[in-house]
């Protein structure tokens, strides 16, 4: 039986006009959908490189519980056909996404090679170095004074950390991080500077792949104690990884390692500026509150706003008939404000418990591998900032327009020392 599609939802959460709004403004629409149509049929996304086929659209999943359902059922909702609201050609998909856009068993095998470097024990080994970097970054902030917080502070620690783990030489880190930004902000006209979306994505991807391949070749010749050396030496089913595999890892680590933590840092300063009583709680007993507070930082920021899955069979969700091949998009930003899962979801509460946010994903095999690393960075940086620049204030953030990450391009800050 062929079922007809529902009409496109009048509450659109896929247009560029929608993504240009602030998180608070977007929330007005998410709230309507969560209450009335938790799984809604949406028009094809705007700002795409390859428009979806005529007549297609996608399902928007906006409730916390439904995001978990989709996320924990990779057999029904797979990642292997792409995870962004975008029809990416298969070769680009593999080169740009590595195991992010794969399913078991290949996903499990490849992810394990990298995840071993992100376990609590491994992250603890570099904890002191991360703290040291956070101290230096804060030294520089105090020296420079009022500035753009994103450029002067937020981008630095994630960039240092992920590339230190990879073993990327310092002089190439800025270029790599800049290219990583291009991978997630091609629908923003200001970032593109006259380029077409596909052109920016392609240029950024080639830059990262080349850096990744250079690094892999160097580590084959000169092994060191770092992640890239582990990757060139690793075998899956007795077969070494190709340069392309390793470069794809590097692309994924670059994007996932830079962007998410940077934006969480920025959004957290914004929140601590808006909710001064919460800042005081942290300052009064940092060690005692930061562990719980970090989860709230991530819930509040929801740095990854969406991920897509593709239905592998006809399946019903919240009364909607999802067909095999349909795009199903999880809106983490909405799930993290779901009244069904959080008391007073619009309140930034550094003591919130429980806090089962979906900021690292809704569970399942793709749960954020870098969560311990991200939390370690947040802990180290805000320890420095809140104690040494106690009245640091964030100004108006300038957002990236796009449907994937909640990017903040710049945000002025004043030190008030």
Partner 1 sequence: MKVCVDYDKCTGLGLCESLAPEFFEVQDDGSLELLQTEGAESQRAELEEAVRACPTEALSLEG
Q: How many helices (H) and strands (E) does the chain have?
A: 18, 14
* Rg of the chain taking only CA atoms, in angstroms: 21
Residue with tokens 């070494």: 240
The structure tokens listed for 356 are 């089962």
- Residue 385, SS3 per DSSP: helix
Contact by Cβ (8 Å): 153, 136 = no
* Span interacting with partner 1, options 42-50, 118-126, 310-318, 396-404, rule CB under 8 A: 118-126
Contact by Cβ (8 Å): 261, 378 = yes
167 contacts partner 1 (rule: CB under 8 A): no
How far apart, in Å, are the Cα atoms of 408 and each of 124, 268, 298? Answer: 29, 12, 15
Per-residue binding string, partner 1, 52-81, x by CB under 8 A, is: --------------------x---------
16, 56, 92, 116: which one binds partner 1 (CB under 8 A)? 116
34, 111, 219, 267: which one binds partner 1 (CB under 8 A)? 111
Task: Name the minimum Å distance from CB 362 to partner 1.
Answer: 8
Task: Name the minimum Å distance from CB 226 to partner 1.
Answer: 14
Task: Name the minimum Å distance from CB 102 to partner 1.
Answer: 13
Comparison of 63 and 111: residue with beta carbon closer to partner 1: 111
Spatial separation of the C-alpha atoms in residues 6 and 416, rounded to whole Å: 54
Q: Which residues pair with 78 in a beta bridge?
A: 310
Per-residue binding string, partner 1, 353-392, x by CB under 8 A, is: -------xx-xxx-x-x-xx--------------------
113 contacts partner 1 (rule: CB under 8 A): yes
119 contacts partner 1 (rule: CB under 8 A): yes
Task: Name the minimum Å distance from CB 144 to partner 1.
Answer: 35
Task: Name the minimum Å distance from CB 78 to partner 1.
Answer: 16
115 contacts partner 1 (rule: CB under 8 A): yes
How far apart, in Å, are the Cα atoms of 378 and each of 68, 133, 238, 261, 394? Answer: 25, 12, 38, 8, 16
Contact by Cβ (8 Å): 296, 350 = yes
Quickly list DSSP for 197-213: HHHHHHHHHHHHHHHHH
Comparison of 63 and 375: residue with beta carbon closer to partner 1: 375
Contact by Cβ (8 Å): 192, 186 = yes
Contact by Cβ (8 Å): 87, 48 = yes
5, 106, 112, 313: which one binds partner 1 (CB under 8 A)? 112
240 contacts partner 1 (rule: CB under 8 A): no
Comparison of 125 and 280: residue with beta carbon closer to partner 1: 125
Contact residues toward partner 1 (CB under 8 A) are 72, 108, 111-113, 115-116, 118-122, 360-361, 363-365, 367, 369, 371-372
């Amino acid at each position: 039986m062929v079922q007809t599609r529902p009409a496109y939802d009048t509450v659109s959460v896929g247009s560029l006009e929608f993504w240009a709004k602030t998180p608070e403004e977007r929330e007005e629409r998410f709230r309507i959908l969560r209450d009335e149509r938790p799984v809604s049929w949406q028009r094809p996304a705007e700002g795409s490189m390859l428009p979806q086929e005529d007549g297609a659209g996608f399902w928007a999943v906006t409730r916390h519980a439904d995001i978990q359902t989709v996320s924990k059922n990779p057999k029904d909702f797979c990642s292997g056909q792409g995870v962004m609201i975008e029809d990416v050609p298969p070769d680009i998909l593999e080169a740009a996404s590595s195991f992010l856009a794969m399913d078991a068993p290949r996903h499990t095998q490849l992810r394990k090679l990298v995840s071993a470097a992100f376990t609590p024990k491994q992250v603890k080994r570099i904890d002191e170095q991360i703290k040291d970097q956070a101290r230096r970054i804060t030294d520089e902030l105090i020296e420079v004074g009022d500035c753009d917080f994103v450029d002067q502070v937020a981008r630095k620690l994630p960039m240092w950390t992920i590339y230190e783990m990879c073993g990327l030489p310092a002089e190439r880190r800025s270029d790599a991080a800049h290219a990583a930004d291009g991978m997630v902000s091609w629908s923003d006209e200001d970032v593109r500077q006259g380029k077409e979306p596909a052109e920016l994505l392609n240029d950024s991807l080639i830059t990262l792949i080349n850096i990744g391949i250079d690094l892999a070749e160097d580590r084959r010749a000169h092994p060191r104690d770092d992640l890239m050396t582990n990757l060139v030496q690793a075998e899956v089913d007795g077969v070494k990884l190709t340069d392309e595999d390793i470069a794809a890892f590097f692309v994924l680590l670059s994007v996932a390692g830079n962007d998410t933590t940077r934006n969480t840092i920025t959004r957290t300063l914004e929140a601590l500026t808006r909710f001064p009583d919460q800042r005081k709680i942290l300052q009064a007993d940092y060690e005692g509150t930061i562990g719980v507070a970090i989860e709230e930082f991530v819930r509040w920021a929801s740095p990854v706003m969406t991920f897509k899955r593709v239905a592998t069979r006809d399946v019903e969700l919240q009364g909607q008939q999802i067909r095999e091949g349909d795009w199903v998009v999880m809106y983490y930003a909405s799930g993290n404000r779901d009244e069904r899962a959080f008391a007073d979801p619009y309140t930034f509460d550094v003591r919130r418990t429980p806090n089962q946010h979906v900021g690292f994903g809704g569970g399942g095999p793709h749960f954020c591998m870098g969560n311990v690393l991200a939390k370690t960075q947040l802990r180290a940086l805000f320890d420095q900032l809140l104690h040494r620049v106690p009245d640091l204030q964030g100004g108006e953030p300038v957002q990236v327009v796009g449907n994937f990450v909640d990017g903040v391009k710049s945000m002025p800050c004043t030190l008030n020392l």
